[in-house]
Amino acid sequence: MDISRKISDGISIIMIKGNMSADAIEHTRKEIEAIAAVDGIELVLDLKEVEFIDSAGIGAIVYMVKRCRRSGGSVKIANVQGQVRDVFRMAGLDKALEIYPSMDSALESYPEHKRDMVTGHMDGHIEKGLPLS
Amino acid sequence: MMKRENILIVEDDPHFMKLLEYNLGKHYQVTKAVNGVQALELLEKIVPDLIISDIMMPEMDGYTLKETLRTKTGTDAMPFMFITAMGTSNDRQKGFALGIDDYLVKPVERETLLTRVRQILDRAKIYKQSFFEDLKTDYVRQDCGGKILTCNGFNLYFRILPADVASGDYVEVFTCMDGASIVLMGDIAGKGLKAKYFSSTYWAYMKTVFHVYLKNGGSLADGLIQLNELLCDDPSLEDIFTTLICLKLGKDSSQIVSVSAGHLPVLWWSASEKTVNLLEARGPLLGLDEEAVFPETETPIGPDDRLIITSDGVIEATNMDGTLYGMERLQESVIRNSSLAPEALTQALLDDVSKFRCLTPAGDDVTVMVISRF
């Protein structure tokens, strides 16, 4: 599983590629924790290239959502499809998380003033702390 | 094959590290770190049975390492031994004051090393077994004691096969004041000691809500709302989540009321229609959304119908090729074995998973429960 990120209009886009399985999560745990550790972070998780997720993957997403919400930030999720969508539905996550059909719609859901507010703050933390490829 | 105990050696001298690795590696699995910082990073991923550390090391010395571990839940009671060149009485006292289990001064004879390590591991094993036995006795029923449980006209049988000494899966059955039986099955996700410690905290919440509220006639849906709010309010639980399914088997009723918090769908074998229906979760997993609601579902159970409830260890079981057992195989297995009584059906489903997995070890607890009418 690879994690990469970019910033669009001050919102951090986290792109995940590969299976979100127990082994993969174990290997990327530090990166996931580093992303969630940025106080007040506003982010979109792009799951377009995730074909498989298990309970460990769900655990990683739940961790990010809870950690970000607690620090005043938020997590939105884009491009949930196939097996991932089925597992989300089974776990009731389709009702508990903010899920959008595309990256554009997820980004547009952030108010414009919020995007401006976040830009500088997040860049500083994320560049410094994240060993993301 | 019995799992070998894991020893984390923290030592900056490559020659002494090699010596320790040579002597201990014959008997134990060895993990290595060159200083306290690296050891702490490794401890994010592994749970060793013993830590052997030098004291004088660059970046973080042994005292600081032990002090740091002592302040963190999950590592505070890890067996710990110093092997060091610092041999004064003050050095030893400082070490023991930090709560270490043993202190050896270099050079160390091979026999002394092996004996002292074995002693610590044996002591820890006795403590660990007793701790987890208590945990199991207090909170988790591992099976029905080999007997079918009868609750208000229903037969119920279940088995939990833990992947580790303490299971994250749990089942509980109890009776309310109005005579209805409540059946709970849940899964505490998360690995390592933290998840195990968490299970006792979680059970305290469960007891508070279910054994007080539900026993006195509260609804399943309201019970889950209360439990969910408690879990959302506890910041120490942010990297752990739990799923839960609750069933109410009422008196003089063929209906089963169920409510689910992110748990896998219940499989309902309808004998009249010869089909397996999936009763999907209507509420999210616990501790995520403090405003979550958990709608109740009523399912009419016919005389030869079966309800099958499992944990994710069943459908996430993998074989040697890395292929998942999956929900479809489970449904097929239910159809093949649907005529069996709850006890035999439970065993047949577990056997099918085990046969599929072949030699691949279980990565998660496996729980199967079957309910039928009598």
- Asked if the Cβ–Cβ distance from A63 to B239 is below 8 Å, we say yes
The residue ranges of chain B whose pLDDT is under 50 are: 1-2, 135, 137-140, 192
| Best to test chain A binding among B241, B278, B297, B365 (most A CBs inside 10 Å) | B241
Residue B306, SS3?
strand
Look up residue B363 and give its amino acid.
Answer: G
Residue in B with minimal Cα distance to A61:
B239
CB-side neighbour CA atoms (13 Å) of A24: 19
pLDDT digits (tens, 9 = 90+) for B316-371: 898 988 899 999 999 999 999 999 999 999 999 999 999 998 888 777 888 999 99
CATH class entry, domain A2-129:
alpha beta
How far apart are the C-alpha atoms of B227 and B206, rounded to whole Å?
A: 7
CB B242 within 8 A of CB B189: yes
Which residues in B lie closer than 8 A to residue A29 (C-beta atoms)?
44-45
Q: Which residues touch B338 (CB under 8 Å, ≥6 apart)?
A: B269, B271, B306, B345
DSSP for residue B164: S
* Residue B190, pLDDT score: 60
* Residue B239, pLDDT score: 65
Q: How many whole angstroms from its chain centre is CA A117?
A: 19
- Asked if the Cβ–Cβ distance from A70 to B280 is below 8 Å, we say no
Q: Which of B238, B280, B284 is the closest to A67 by Cβ?
A: B238
Q: Which of B238, B241, B262 is the closest to A70 by Cβ?
A: B238
Which residues in A lie closer than 8 A to residue B192 (C-beta atoms)?
none
Q: Which residues touch B24 (CB under 8 Å, ≥6 apart)?
A: B7, B9, B30, B52, B113, B114, B117
* Residue B1, pLDDT score: 40
Residue B361, SS3?
coil
Distance (Å) of CA B284 to CA A57, A80, B198, B228: 16, 17, 20, 10
If phi > 0 it is left, if psi is from -120 to 50 it is alpha, else beta; for residue B37 that is: alpha
- Asked if the Cβ–Cβ distance from B262 to A92 is below 8 Å, we say yes
The residue ranges of chain A whose pLDDT is under 70 are: 112-133
As beta bridge partners, residue B33 has B10
Q: Is the ipTM value over 0.90, yes or no?
A: no
- Asked if the Cβ–Cβ distance from B238 to A63 is below 8 Å, we say yes
Which residues in B lie closer than 8 A to residue A30 (C-beta atoms)?
44
- Cis, peptide link before residue B265, omega less than 30° from 0: no
Domain B140-373 CATH (choose: 2.60.20.30, 3.20.20.70, 3.60.40.10, 2.60.40.3620): 3.60.40.10
| Homologous superfamily in CATH for domain B6-135 | Response regulator (3.40.50.2300)
As beta bridge partners, residue B182 has B174, B248
- Asked if the Cβ–Cβ distance from A62 to B285 is below 8 Å, we say yes
Q: Which of B45, B235, B283 is the closest to A70 by Cβ?
A: B235
Radius of gyration of the CA atoms of chain A, in A = 14
Q: Please tell me the distance in Å from A57's CA to the nearest CA on chain B.
A: 11
How far apart are the C-alpha atoms of A102 and B343, rounded to whole Å?
A: 47
Q: Please tell me the distance in Å from A93's CA to the nearest CA on chain B.
A: 6
Residue B82, H or E segment: strand B80-84
DSSP for residue B211: I
Distance (Å) of CA B116 to CA A36, B79, B90: 42, 12, 21
Residue B51, H or E segment: strand B50-53
* Residue A130, pLDDT score: 35
CB B349 within 8 A of CB B369: no
Residue A44, H or E segment: strand A42-49
* Residue A126, pLDDT score: 37
- Asked if the Cβ–Cβ distance from A66 to B238 is below 8 Å, we say yes
- Asked if the Cβ–Cβ distance from B45 to A22 is below 8 Å, we say no
- Asked if the Cβ–Cβ distance from B281 to A63 is below 8 Å, we say no
| Best to test chain B binding among A30, A58, A90 (most B CBs inside 10 Å) | A90
Q: Considering chain B, tell me which residue range(s) the CATH 3.60.40.10 domain(s) occupy.
A: 140-373
Classify strands B366-373 and B154-161 as parallel, antiparallel or unpaired: antiparallel
Q: Which of B190, B281, B364 is the closest to A92 by Cβ?
A: B281
Beta-carbon count within 10 A of B298 CB: 11
Residue in B with minimal Cα distance to A58:
B241
Q: Please tell me the distance in Å from A13's CA to the nearest CA on chain B.
A: 21
Residue B205, SS3?
helix
Which residues in A lie closer than 8 A to residue B44 (C-beta atoms)?
29-30
* Residue B322, pLDDT score: 85
Domain locations along chain A: 2-129
How far apart are the C-alpha atoms of B224 and B217, rounded to whole Å?
A: 14
* Residue B186, pLDDT score: 86
Sign of CA dihedral B205, B207, B209, B212: negative
Distance (Å) of CA B342 to CA B130, B171, B249, B332: 32, 16, 16, 17
How far apart are the C-alpha atoms of A91 and B362, rounded to whole Å?
A: 22
Residue in A with minimal Cα distance to B235:
A70
